Chains A and B, each alone.
Chain A
């Protein structure tokens, strides 16, 4: 069957094809741009400085290790909270809750996922930080743990919706077979359904982690912004500074083309790569979700 191709049809096809590749073009442009502004760091700052433990740009100390570890510790804390809560909530929604509850819960979780991070950071400053300070007898509530709790709140919707999709996608026959063999529903969930949905749940966790590492506003507002090296787990209760907060806080004050400017772009490159690795791994895990868009939306 031949299609009638006119000149206008060809033109439209060409335009559509061009826009199709736009995503690729943008990624490449962003990457090249980041490299162009960030790589001069390697020329201007000796590696011993760049990977030292002091971040004090005014005096020329550009050690990014405190920032890297700050990001890691906050992300670790957030993941430790968000994964159990998120998976439990997903299990509840998908396996335990009655139909009517499901119709309320799913939009509710979506609401949490749509909250702008500034709003959560704002509540963190006014409510959570003072509360943590009183609760834990530490000198300030603006610490890593506060950031972790709020980041967990942001990440939970991602984990819940992707995990819930994964659990939903497990064929009903699996559950029926387990129950027919005499298992309780509880046993079915943990030994049959959840393992069957394993790859989807893992994807959910990785997407959550990716989102947490890249989060800026919350950490800038509540983690205290002190670029100190976290030395032990107790650093969770002290102020830290993440890579994202550093860029956001200091970008407004650097001179274009200065060393500080280049180092901030270098940090951006590091963030770009971390996010890249996490997201490609998460999507390479074979999980054909019906709602692929929900993964990107969350």
Chain B
């Protein structure tokens, strides 16, 4: 901390010390909050974790048994979201980064992406219900849920991919073209591989959000109790966030440790994805060729 030492500055130094103290206190409050949240769930949830819990089916109206179908459901929904959102998102980002001129049509695309990013998740659920479940007759299904989550995840993937592509130095492209490559060849063989870690990070972070969302799948995919795993994309499915929501609000006599256990599994799933993305990002930064 830089302090001055003239006589009149004693008061200012005092103010600074108090001010810094206050700010530090508030910042520590934030840290405390985060640690409390994670701590509570970990400490109270671990007793419920066992092989049976993770691989078994629920019984006694959810009050006992395992949460395997919910875990499977979340994985399926996440994969489904990736299936639709990743190719579309990366392709759109390639357009924005490599092809699009700076005119008002491109600006319109960017405004649309900002819009999509800002739409509340429950409005996505509403849209998904109306379009995929009812109008297109997919019913409450993994398909409808994945499509809804995919549109919701699209802005994240487009933006992070575009940034990853932009981070590749222009000189790479220039050299490639000067050696005779076409634009697409340059993209496919130079730009994309170079930006791969960045794209991967963005995709994982986007999917991480999709995995944790409840509102979009409330009416498009989620079922509370399924005696068996889903057979086809047109089946509805259990899902971790939805399961946690229902067992904490709508099942009387729900054992608390099962609630915490479910929360812990969801947390581990989400934070695990976060961790993977962070590791990819830092390793890529170390190995960068520019």
Contact = CB atoms under 8 A, between A and B. Distances in A.
Given A20-B92, A85-B30, A12 B184 contact: yes
Given A210-B118, A297-B205, A21 B40 contact: no
Nearest to A1: B177
Interface string A245-257: 0011001100010
Contact of B212 (A30, A112, A116, A276): A116
Interface in B123-165: 123-127, 129-131, 134, 151, 154-156, 158-160, 162-163
Interface stretch (A41-49, A62-70, A117-125, A229-237): A117-125
B182 A275 contact: no
B172 interface: no
B212 A114 contact: yes
Contacts of A4: 180, 182
Nearest to A24: B112
A13 B219 contact: no
Contact of A114 (B113, B159, B271): B271
Interface stretch (A52-60, A132-140, A165-173, A181-189): A181-189
Given A16-B91, A22-B154, A85-B29, A296 B122 contact: no
A120 B95 CA distance: 38
Interface string A67-106: 0000000000000000011101101110011000000010
Contact of B122 (A29, A119, A247): A247
A292 B2 CA distance: 33
B99 A251 contact: no
Question: B-side binding surface: helix, strand, loop or mixed?
Answer: helix
A280 interface: yes
Interface in A215-263: 215-217, 221, 244, 247-248, 251-252, 256
B92 to A, nearest CB: 5
Contact of A112 (B2, B33, B178): B33
A50 interface: no
B184 to A, nearest CB: 5
Given A26-B116, A127-B40, A184-B9, A216 B160 contact: no
Question: A-side binding surface: helix, strand, loop or mixed?
Answer: helix
Interface in B1-32: 1-4, 9, 12-13, 15-16, 19-20, 22-24, 26-27, 29-31
A111 B218 CA distance: 24
A115 B270 CA distance: 7
Nearest to B113: A23
Max chain B C-beta neighbours (<10 A), residue from A127, A213, A216: A216
Contact of B154 (A26, A85, A248): A26
Contact of A126 (B24, B248, B266): B248
A247 B14 CA distance: 52
B194 interface: no
Contacts, number: 280
Interface of A: 1, 3-6, 9, 12-13, 15-17, 19-24, 26-27, 29-30, 33-34, 37, 84-86, 88-89, 91-93, 96-97, 105, 107-112, 114-123, 125-127, 153, 156, 160, 179, 182, 184-187, 210, 213-217, 221, 244, 247-248, 251-252, 256, 264-265, 268, 271-272, 275-276, 278-280, 283, 291-293, 296-297
Given A5-B182, A23-B113, 18 more contacts: A16-B95, A20-B91, A21-B109, A24-B112, A30-B151, A105-B27, A108-B31, A117-B212, A121-B248, A184-B13, A214-B119, A214-B122, A216-B122, A216-B215, A217-B245, A248-B125, A268-B123, A268-B126
21 contacts: A4-B182, A9-B182, A12-B184, A13-B99, A16-B95, A26-B112, A30-B119, A96-B20, A109-B30, A114-B270, A118-B245, A118-B266, A119-B41, A119-B267, A185-B2, A186-B15, A217-B215, A244-B120, A247-B126, A272-B120, A297-B206
Rank and list the top 3 A-B pairs by shortest CB-CB distance, nearest first.
A214-B120, A20-B95, A116-B212
